[in-house]
Amino acid sequence: MEQKELIYLEQLSRLYPSIGRASAEIINLQSILNLPKGTEHFLSDIHGEYEAFSHVLRNGSGAVRKKIDDVFGHTLSNADKSALATLIYYPREKMELVKKQETDMDSWYRITLYRLIEVCKTVSSKYTRSRVRKALPEDYAYVIEELITEKPEVLNKEAYYEAIVNTIVELGRADDFIVALSELIQRLVIDRLHVLGDIYDRGTSPHLIMDRLENYHSLDIQWGNHDIIWMGAAAGQCACVATVIRSSIRYGNIDLLEEGYGINMLPLATFAMDAYADDPCERFVFKTVPGGTNNAENELTRKMHKAIAIIRFKLEGQLIRKWPEYGMRDRLLLERIDYEKGTVNIDGKEYRMLDMHLPTIDPEDPYALTDGEQEVIQRLRHSFVHCEKLQRHVRLLLKKGSMYRVCNGNLLYHGCIPMNEDGTFQKVNIYGQEYSGKALFDVMESYVRKAFFSQDEKEREKGADMMWYIWTAPASPLYGRCKMATFERYFLEEEELKTETKNAYYQLIDRPETADKILKEFGLEGERVHIINGHVPVHRVRGESPVKCGGKVIVIDGGFSQTYRRRTGIAGYTLIYNSYGLTLTAHEPFVSAETAVREEIDIVSRREAVEYMDKRILIGDTDSGEKIREQIKELKVLIRAYQSGEIAEKDS
């Protein structure tokens, strides 16, 4: 036996100090391989819509209701099933309503507890007992384990369970116990959550989504361009800071900055009122009108909007000049404005500017910040860098997140793989070296992490700047359009200039050979492999399908964000991958938790199988199964080392 292998086995023997302990672990691991695979839940492009997101987590995109159907079949009416499902989603809120209507609460408690226990038994059946035990709430762990574990030694099971349930009701603990069971069902019905990017922007509450994800039991995140720009702001990259603030103001989300993250907006407001005092800033309107704002607030916000937009254009120009390899000189538009004629030159043609009140721009040096602008952006930067809550949320994005993930035969990423029109992977210059395909994702991710962890100041700076590039560059896998036409939307009338042409990927991805090429690039081949992504909403109203290439490509951005719903016709797609196959779910707009509880309605409008397996998928068929088989192999080697005397058994 080689020395390295012997050293490793010595370390392993500390965990399994005898043949008996190692054998017991092999038996345990072998049994796990034969359990059904856990249910994976895929969400994308949540865009700050916390209530809809929270509801989808609670109902598992229909997985909870399906378990209820499996358990009770035709023995419960649809109305009773809906009531039970609503109780599991919102136990406290539902019980408050029940108490106002129900005359015999003790009977209701007993019936409800029995039903919840049956659902609990089913959702826990695909896990080992130790795995379930770890998920149990501390206060009721022993009692719940007694209720959901089969006990062949108990002759009169009905009397045994009835005694426990009666005691729970008599002690006045039924409410808490129902909450505990409901939350346990929510947790066990989903084994792992995949969030495919764009948690931030547009909606009002990404901070609440991040709070919820911090406590989620099993999670990974594939960064979206809207997440990356917030990460850049948290790293102190000034163009990212300006972009985040501009977007928040544009979508009426100043409260998110001020109350959600404690970002002080007073410096910007004071500067804007002075710099744009006589300017109505009519081009700088809200994308969505904030509720409850009066005309004076709207006027101030428009001024703040314009002030931060101009600061953003200047900072972006500085970055494009600083890094010529970004290849974005066509976006240096401030230097192409004729400040006397009131026009801008784009692609050799003059266009009339709709707003020429630009008091902070020096035509001789258009990207230079004024002293006032410099002070504003530095104070805002300080707020972002020193916001404990934002830094905590970004640490979660770094810990659980990545540019892509390969998991159980699925390739997950947010946007696209930059491609040329001939179907080859586009080569992209990253600080002097060209990358494409998987290597492009890897190098970009390395720079994102350098922005936060590198000890080299220059590398940290390059990493922070790279996050702005990933947000907006045509060659970015997370953006993938020819330009971000923010300047054109503010200042020009011509609609054709506002078109953001998509990367060739979006036309090519409908072809099976393109999907196969991408999957192979990331190490996936075979019949049951898939690309799952978001970023570009699927317009169901136009007849677009989220499933492409015979099921090899699944796009699950269907419009969680309210601003997309008129175009998509729905309120988002989500995907479930359980031991029976892949199921796509389309959702209706979520009104409120109160309405969901009162009317017992769900937002799952349609569920359709994308891929159904002839044979149930076991843990042994998954990536986890591969790791378990490796563990079994190593333990068998350890046992042979014990048996040959190369390693001595230790006291257990």
Q: Which of 265-274, 434-443, 517-526, 563-572 has the lowest mean pLDDT?
A: 563-572
How many CA within 13 A on the CB side of residue 451?
27
Instruction: Let me know whether 267 and 242 are in one domain.
Output: yes
Q: Which of the four pLDDT bands, split at 50, 70 and 90, describes residue 540?
A: low
> Given a cut of 80, is residue 315 above it in pLDDT?
yes
Q: 373: Cβ–Cβ under 8 A, 6 or more apart, which residues?
A: 271, 307, 310, 311, 314, 360
The answer to whether residues 440 and 361 belong to one domain is: yes
Q: What is the mean pLDDT of residues 474-485?
A: 95
Residue 558 has pLDDT above 70, yes or no: no
> Does residue 156 share a domain with residue 88?
yes
Shared-domain flag, residues 177 and 276: no
Tokens of 15: 């965990």
Does any domain span residue 502?
no
Give pLDDT, residue 293. 52
Distance CA 112, CA 106 (A): 10
Average pLDDT over residues 520-539: 87
Name the amino acid, one letter, at 66: K
The single residue listed with the structure tokens 């989500």 is 574
Q: How much is the average pLDDT of 236-246?
A: 98
Measured between alpha carbons, how far apart are the two ends of the chain, in Å? Answer: 25
Mean pLDDT for the chain? 91
Residue 53 CA to residue 593 CA, distance in Å, equals: 11
Residues 254 and 380 in one domain: yes
- Please check the confidence at residue 79 and state whether its pLDDT lies above 60: yes
Residue at a domain's end among 472, 499, 515: 472
Residue 466 has pLDDT above 70, yes or no: yes
* Per-residue pLDDT at 415: 93
Rounded Cα distance, 54 and 70, in Å: 24
Question: For position 154, what pLDDT does the model report?
Answer: 54
pLDDT for res 387: 97
Helices first, then strands: H and E counts in the chain: 27, 17
Which of the residue ranges 113-122, 155-164, 592-601 would you say has the lowest mean pLDDT?
A: 155-164
Structure confidence by residue, pLDDT tens digits, 102-112: 899 999 999 99
Mean pLDDT for 377-393 is 98
Least confident span in 398-412, 438-452, 516-530, 562-576: 562-576
Domain assignment of residue 487, yes or no: no
Range of the domain at 285: 206-472
CA-nearest of 184, 186, 223 to 57 is 186
Task: Please say if the pLDDT value at position 295 is more than 70.
Answer: no
Q: pLDDT band at residue 290, thresholds of 50, 70 and 90?
A: very low
C-alpha distances out from residue 556 to 283, 512, 546, 583, Å: 33, 18, 6, 11
pLDDT band at 129 (very low <50, low <70, confident <90, very high): confident
Number of domains in the chain: 3
Q: Please tell me the predicted confidence (pLDDT) of residue 292.
A: 47
Q: 492 in a domain, yes or no?
A: no
Let me know whether 172 and 255 are in one domain: no
514 within some domain? no
What is residue 557's predicted lDDT score, i.e. its pLDDT?
78
pLDDT at 138 over 90: no
pLDDT at 348 over 50: yes
Amino acid identity, residue 270?
A: T
Same domain, 184 and 51: yes
Q: What percent of the chain has pLDDT above 90?
A: 76
Whether 515 is covered by a domain: the verdict is no
560 band by pLDDT with thresholds 50, 70 and 90: low
Helix (H) or strand (E) segment spanning residue 214: helix 206-214
Please give the single-letter amino acid code of residue 94.
K
* Closest by Cα among 65, 396, 345 to 206: 396
Do 190 and 256 lie in one domain? The reply is no
Amino acid residing at 288: T
Can you tell me the mean pLDDT for 424-449?
97
User: Tell me, what's the pLDDT at 151?
Assistant: 63
Does one domain contain both 107 and 217?
Answer: no
**606 within domain boundaries:** yes
pLDDT score for 480: 93
Determine, yes or no, domain membership for 229.
yes
Segment 526-551 mean pLDDT:
80
Do 103 and 183 lie in one domain? The reply is: yes
Its pTM stands at 0.92
Per-residue model confidence (pLDDT) at position 498: 94
Q: Which of 456, 472, 488 is the last residue of a domain?
A: 472
Based on the fold, state whether residues 250 and 389 are members of the same structural domain.
Answer: yes
Task: State which of 472, 488, 508 marks the end of a domain.
Answer: 472
pLDDT at 371: 97
Least confident of 72-76, 320-324, 400-404, 566-570: 566-570
pLDDT of residue 599: 80
Q: Are residues 121 and 212 in the same domain?
A: no
Q: How far apart are CA 252 and CA 290, in angstroms?
A: 5
Whether residue 296 has pLDDT greater than 70: no
Provide the pLDDT for residue 206. Answer: 96
Model confidence at 279: pLDDT above 80:
yes
**Is residue 557 assigned to a domain?**
yes
